[in-house]
């Protein structure tokens, strides 16, 4: 008998073991929901799958009688627009400032302590300031995502740039490269895969800030809807919304991973061969 730490599951078993926990959770939910509904058919806490699917049908595939819109898709579009805009701007800021900070000691001396302190300000604590200065519409929500995620990405990019071996930077100079050319031909290509990794890690925080901002002030959006229907204890709407947000987050994470593998194959091969 091999040691436990040396037993690798086969392909079949790995797939099987991946699926099992999900099936168990669904089965547990189903039996618990059944038991509660048997006792009280008006129970709202654990709606049955039929109730959930009719709620999905109502939200996603039926026109809203008052506005003629499909609420679910409208909410999704509003939230996706905010988070994609926020995280894209964050990534751009993180890349540019992190790169300059990492490469130029003169700039780093001035900016790096400021970024460190800024990254420690709790973004939720300054949300009221954002609402006061940027108003209650899109800008404040996007700003919250940027303020919440950009400093972390800046710091990560800075340290990644500083981890590039000095030898490479000196070598480039002996080949006649200027600071600009070292930046775009040596440093930038090497930290792009790190940027994608940093963005993947900050997606969780971005969703947190988005939903928080939507919960407080919005007219549409996934977070807004969840907090709105909470008043009616509408678990049949909340649960599919949460599942949908998870699916979106997973899809974003997965596509960033694939993008990195397609655009920077040398990086992934190098990591794998380490």
Partner 1 sequence: MSFLQINNVWKSYGQAQILERLNLSIDQGEFISMVGASGCGKSTLLKMILGSEVATKGEISLEGKPLVAEPDAERGIVFQKYSVFPHMTVLQNVMVADEFTKSFLLGRCFGSARKQVKQKAESFIDAVGLTPAINKYPHQLSGGMQQRLAIAQALMKAPKILLLDEPFGALDPGIRADMHVLIRDIWKKNNLTIFMVTHDIKEGFELGSRVWVFDKVRHDPQAPMAYGAQVTYDLKLDTDKTPDIAALTQKIAVN
Tell me which residues touch partner 1 (CB under 8 A). 165, 167-168, 170-178, 180-181, 184-186, 189-190, 264, 266-267, 269-270, 273
Residue closer to partner 1, measured from CB, 99 or 186: 186
**DSSP class of residue 69?**
S
Residue closer to partner 1, measured from CB, 128 or 265: 265
12, 13, 21 from 4: Cα distances, Å: 19, 15, 21
Residue closer to partner 1, measured from CB, 39 or 271: 271
Please classify residue 71 by burial: count the beta carbons closer than 10 Å to its beta carbon, then call 0-12 exposed, 13-18 middle and 19+ buried: middle
Tokens for 263, please give them.
Answer: 């655009």
Residue closer to partner 1, measured from CB, 44 or 171: 171
Closest approach of partner 1 to the CB of residue 108, in Å: 18
In 3D space, the residue among 179, 187, 177, 195 whose CA is nearest the CA of residue 106 turns out to be: 179
Closest approach of partner 1 to the CB of residue 197, in Å: 15
Rg (CA), the chain: 24
Closest approach of partner 1 to the CB of residue 257, in Å: 18
List for the chain the helix, strand, coil content (%; round to 5): 80, 0, 20
Closest approach of partner 1 to the CB of residue 209, in Å: 33
Residue closer to partner 1, measured from CB, 53 or 168: 168
């Amino acid at each position: 008998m091999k040691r436990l730490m040396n037993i690798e599951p086969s392909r079949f078993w790995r797939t099987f073991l991946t699926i099992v926990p999900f099936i168990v959770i669904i089965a547990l939910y189903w039996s618990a929901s059944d038991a509660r509904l048997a006792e009280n058919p008006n129970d709202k806490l654990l709606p049955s799958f039929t109730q959930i699917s009719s709620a999905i049908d109502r939200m996603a595939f039926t026109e809203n009688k008052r506005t003629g819109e499909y609420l679910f898709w409208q909410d999704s579009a509003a939230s996706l627009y905010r988070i994609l805009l926020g995280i894209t701007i964050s990534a751009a800021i993180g890349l540019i400032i992190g790169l300059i900070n990492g490469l130029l000691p003169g700039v780093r001396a001035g900016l790096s302590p400021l970024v460190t302190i800024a990254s420690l300000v709790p973004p939720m604590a300054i949300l009221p300031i954002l609402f006061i200065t940027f108003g209650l519409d899109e800008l404040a929500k996007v700003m919250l995502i940027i303020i919440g995620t950009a400093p972390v990405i800046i710091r990560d990019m800075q340290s990644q740039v500083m981890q590039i071996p000095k030898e490479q930077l000196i070598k480039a100079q002996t080949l006649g490269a200027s600071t600009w050319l070292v930046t775009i031909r040596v440093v930038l290509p090497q930290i792009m895969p790190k940027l994608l990794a940093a963005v993947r890690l900050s997606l969780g925080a971005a969703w947190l800030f988005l939903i928080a901002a939507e919960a407080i002030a919005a007219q549409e959006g996934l977070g807004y809807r969840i907090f709105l229907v909470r008043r009616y204890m509408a678990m049949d709407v909340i649960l599919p919304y949460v599942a949908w947000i998870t699916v979106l987050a997973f899809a974003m994470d997965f596509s960033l991973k694939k993008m990195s593998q397609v655009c920077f194959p040398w990086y992934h091969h190098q990591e794998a061969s380490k």
